[in-house]
Structure 1
Amino acid sequence: MERDSALDHDFHSAWGSVYTNHSTVGDKETLPLWEQYAVNKGAVDRKYQLLLNEYTDLFSKVLGGYYPISMHAHATDSLMPTTIASLILNTAATSPLVLDSPTLRPKADEKPEDAGLRVRNFALSLLGWDETHVLSPNFVVADNIYGAGYGPLAHTSKEWEINAIAAGPKPVVVNMREADEETLNAQFAEAKAKGCIAVVFDMVSTEDGIVMAPKKFGMIKACCARNRLLLIVDETMTAMRCGAPFAFQRPEYVREAAEYQPDFVIFGKGIGVSGIAIGFGGVITQILAYTKPEDISQTIRFWRALVSRPIRLPILLEALSILRASVKENWPEQSEQIGNAIRDVLHELDPSTRAPGAIRGIGAVITINKEVALRYRVMCASRRRSPWVRLLPKLGGATPTREELLRRVFGQDSKEQRQVLTREAELSGAIPLWCFICGIEATSKDWCRACYLSFCDNEVCVQAFHRHACV
């Protein structure tokens, strides 16, 4: 019996949104609910709010005190300036600063519009906003950020297919890697004056895998605080895979400007759903005076009341199981072990990867040159024109040994494992999920049965695929 039958050469893992191949349905706490749901959906449906509250509390415990406040179908849906603006205004308007104040809180005998105007003006003053920030909110973004799949951040993408469908205000792009503190502060101040409400970046660049330097992270936090700009960290890829619940919670980052933390974190489907998590000790949120659990629960309920159900019930059950699995198997710690094992094997197989910067990333978020990935026939998350690709191995189960990685993924002996996958696919009429060349959905039926690899119909990918050497 294999120690981990899920281990194979799919390091794409649905753009990192699949954390484990182990079924979560068997989770002993959730299984009775699934069984009940199969015969009496309504009975489980009536427990929806209890389950949502349980998910919210567990998320906060697992992910270092951040609460999933806003749920979305796709992480890109979260990174909209208007969504973030409304969310922080709601959080300010329902904060203890307002509701516990005899002069600010709504009164029973006054017109609703008078109360609304008073609270709104207070929130704008607190945030340092004027009407520009309300009517045309915008972001400051790092110049190496991925650029999202669509919407305003797509303006920054280096892929013409994405850039062509960008819509919304162009974000203010800042070189955060090289700017000194004086320059960064001046750029943030200028951006704030023009309507920017938040600074957005990722700890590990999806563009080239370079990791944010701890001192630079501290500098960005301090500059955000000086200019009253929200700090938003995109952890769509790095959550759980980075040696900590979120990458910025690694010890080397916590130490830098420790009095400031991110206000919001963007998380992805690997945790069961995508969305925005809020921390109440953030650069801006800490001034809202949320210290009591009941006040935190109340503002989360107020925000969620603006939509019907933020997560469908089956997804909510799966999300609960995923969080429980992450605790049981200690995914953050395991991500370090898996990442180190893969790096060691790559160093052994290809001495060129020992050069400084040849392997980038952190934990189980690994970025290597595309030519190396092609040489060892690994499916990975990539961009068609980028020389870098991301290896996003699944977590869960036993940490793979050197021998298992050679036998099931990288080495010549992996042919046997690939043949198992090929036979399974042919029996079910399936094909390998991802284009071996560019990483998007594979479409060709003319796929390689020896390597268990396929490709999309793009002409460049077709030509490159047919040049690959079989295992």
Structure 2
Amino acid sequence: MSPSKVTQHAPPGDSSLDHDFHSAWGSVYTNRSTVGDKEILPLWQEYAVDKPAVDRKYHSILSEYTDLFHKVFGGYYPISMHAHATDSLMPTTIASLILNTAATSPLVLDSPTLSPKANEKPEETGMRVRDFALDFLGWTETHVLSPTFVVADNVYGAGYGPLAHASKEWETSAIAAGPKPFVVNMREADEKTLNVRFAEAKAKGAIAVVFDMVSTEDGLVFTPEKFGLVKKCCAKNRLLLIVDETMTAMRCGAPFAFQRPEYAREGVEYQPDLVIFGKGIGVSGIAINFGGVITKGLTYTKQEDIRQTIRFWRALVSRPIRLPILLEALSILRASVAEKWPEQSERIGEAIRDVLYELDPKTKEPGAIQGLGAVVAIDRDIALRFRVMCAIRRRSPWARLLPKLGSASADREGLMKQVFGEESNEQRQVLAQEAEKCGAIPLWCFICGIEATSEDWCRTCYLSYCNNEVCVQAFHRHACK
């Protein structure tokens, strides 16, 4: 029988702070259960005894989730929900979504020449509307049949699918499938170079530019100046602008990282069209802004038009979220508001950096610590020395610290005693004893970050490893304090 795993719990008195800075690749924002939300708990209780009764409320609950998401994330609507963030980053999915948004826009439905006609054959209506959408987007049949993306050259790429071609991990790139993205050095390119590369990519089937605000490779932050330049070049070349906020939502001082004040100053007339969000918010998916680089031209201004196109798209995939997941997602958003996670993330990031500066003065050197807010990237050897479970790419020299967003993570003294310092052994041993009692092991491989599998785990440090030979050897060299 394989070893079981449970979420780590800190000792009594602090249930939200431990050395799990992996947080399921950043998808766990809090150790506190959101089931107890006073507004959501009655629905859970009713669901347990009368599922159909709650099921009949599905659309009203989904509407409440949509409204709250729109409020929390400053004008973005969750239009498409998926099981995994990579499912959202499929060029064909994005192409279909934006074609649907154009075909159901006021430009079509309010037009006497484009809107559907009562006595017209459906195929005639479809072709007319399709031709309009392609012309609006500047697309050819290539963009429809073989769509692809432009991506920044410092991304690791998605876990599978077309973007996996850009991955630095051979295990990922080996299973890549679909048209390769166009990789562009967005960090160093000037406006002329970006426009040339974007134009070349657009002519060959690119429909969007995709990047993340904090690099998953090395933690480098996309600068406000570069953000403004990319937006400008996307508009010039009629390319959708997509920001991947799977890791950075809530963790970087704003609901979405690009909503920080320094980015907002870089031209409010251009905003990302689409944002990819991840499971930390309860579900993965695509959020749309109807004032984006491309979407702004579709003239969505009325709420009824916006709601209608969202309903049209969701109807194509039936229920976008199962009811239990929807209830959890709604409670997570409510918790983010009540506990002010974006503001909290700034304090957490400052506290962690202060601790690292004290314990390892070398981290004060320029570039030694990267990231933004509570997304902290450090040399992986430092992370290993402090015995922190963190999100690590196997071949990257950088490790990402992704702490929970509870107030305890901003407690400098608590971080010293329970996470980074030698005195954390007391808590680690409590965690180990608890795990022993219920037959569990630490969740994540201390060396590479994937699922831990070994029952031969360290009872002093509360750390384990996977069965990869490199990880086995590295783990047995770690120093207990």
Aligned match of 2:374: 364
Q: Distance in 2 between matches of 1:34 and 1:283?
A: 40
Equivalent residue for 2:442, pick from 420, 432, 439:
432
What TM-score do the two structures reach when normalised by structure 1?
0.99
Q: Shift of residue 396 of structure 1?
A: 2.5
Residue type of the alignment partner of 1:94: T
| Deviation (angstroms), 1:400 | 3.2
Pick from 446, 450, 462: which aligns with 2:460? 450
Asked whether the equivalents of residues 219 and 257 of structure 1 are also in contact (C-alpha less than 8 Å), the reply is no
Distance in 2 (alpha carbons) for counterparts of 1:280 and 1:458: 46
Residue 70 of structure 1 aligns to a residue whose secondary structure is: strand
Asked if 1:375 corresponds to 2:375, the answer is no
Mapped contact 1:4–1:397 kept (Cα < 8 A): no
Match of 1:404 among 395, 414, 431: 414
Q: How does 1:100-115 map to 2 (within 5 A)?
A: 100-115=110-125
Q: How many residues align?
A: 471
Match of 2:168 in 1: 158
What's the CA shift string for 1:77-106, capped at 9, x where partnerless?
Answer: 000100000000000000011111111100
Give ranges in structure 1 of 5+ residues lacking alignment: none
1:22 to 20, 23, 32: 32
Matched, 1:96 2:106: yes
Give the match's secondary structure for 2:441.
coil
Letter in 1 for 2:378: I
**Equivalent of residue 293 in structure 1, options 303, 315, 318:** 303
Amino acid at match of 2:279: K
* Partner in structure 2 of residue 328 of structure 1: 338
User: Secondary structure of 1:277's partner?
Assistant: strand
Q: Provide, for residues 410-442 of structure 1, a one-character-per-residue CA deviation record: whole Å limited to 9, x for no partner.
A: 001101110111011111111000000000000
Give the root-mean-square deviation of aligned CA atoms. Answer: 0.9
Partner of residue 75 from structure 2, selected from 65, 73, 90: 65
**Whole-angstrom CA distance in 2 between matches of 1:310 and 1:470:** 47
Greater displacement, 253-262 / 42-51? 253-262
5 Å-filtered alignment, 1:26-425, equals: 26-425=36-435
Please give the TM-score of this superposition, normalised by the length of structure 2. 0.97
Distance in 1 (CA, whole Å) between partners of 2:349 and 2:13 is: 18
2:464 maps to 1:466:
no
Distance 1:400 1:249 in 2: 22
Q: Secondary structure at the match of 2:214?
A: coil
Instruction: Report the alpha carbon displacement of residue 3 of structure 1 after superposing the two structures with TM.
Output: 5.9
Within 1, Cα distance between the matches of 2:163 and 2:205? 16
Kept after mapping to 2: 8 A contact 1:69/1:277? yes
**Distance (Å, rounded) in 1 between the aligned partners of 2:222 and 2:330:** 31
The 2-side partners of 1:398 and 1:368 are apart by 21
1-structure distance, mates of 2:14, 2:79: 35
Kept after mapping to 1: 8 A contact 2:17/2:408: no
User: Percent same amino acid among aligned pairs?
Assistant: 80
| Separation in structure 2 between the aligned mates of residue 339 and residue 200 of structure 1, nearest angstrom | 26
Runs of 4+ in 1 over 3 A off after TM superposition: 1-4, 397-400
Tell me the SS of whatever aligns to 1:27.
coil
Query: Separation in 1 of the partners of 2:348 and 2:183?
Result: 34
Q: Is the 8 A contact 1:435 1:442 kept in 2?
A: yes
Deviations 1:350-376 (A, max 9, x none): 000000110000000000000000010
Deviations 1:190-239 (A, max 9, x none): 10011100000000000110000110010000000000000000000000
**1:153, CA displacement in angstroms?**
0.4
For the 8 Å contact 2:408–2:414, the answer to whether it is kept is: no
Tell whether the 8 Å contact from 1:3 to 1:398 is kept in structure 2 after alignment: no
Superposed CA deviations along residues 338-396 of structure 1, whole A, max 9, x for unmatched, are 01000000000000000011000000000000000001000000011110010000013
SS in 2 for 1:452: coil
Residue 297 of structure 1 aligns to a residue in which SS?
helix
How far is the alpha carbon of 1:307 from its aligned partner? Answer: 1.2
Q: Tell me the distance in 2 between the aligned counterparts of 1:322 and 1:396.
A: 13
Shift of residue 399, structure 1, vs aligned partner: 4.8
Residue 305 of structure 1 aligns to a residue in which SS?
helix
SS of equivalent residue, structure 2 residue 293: coil
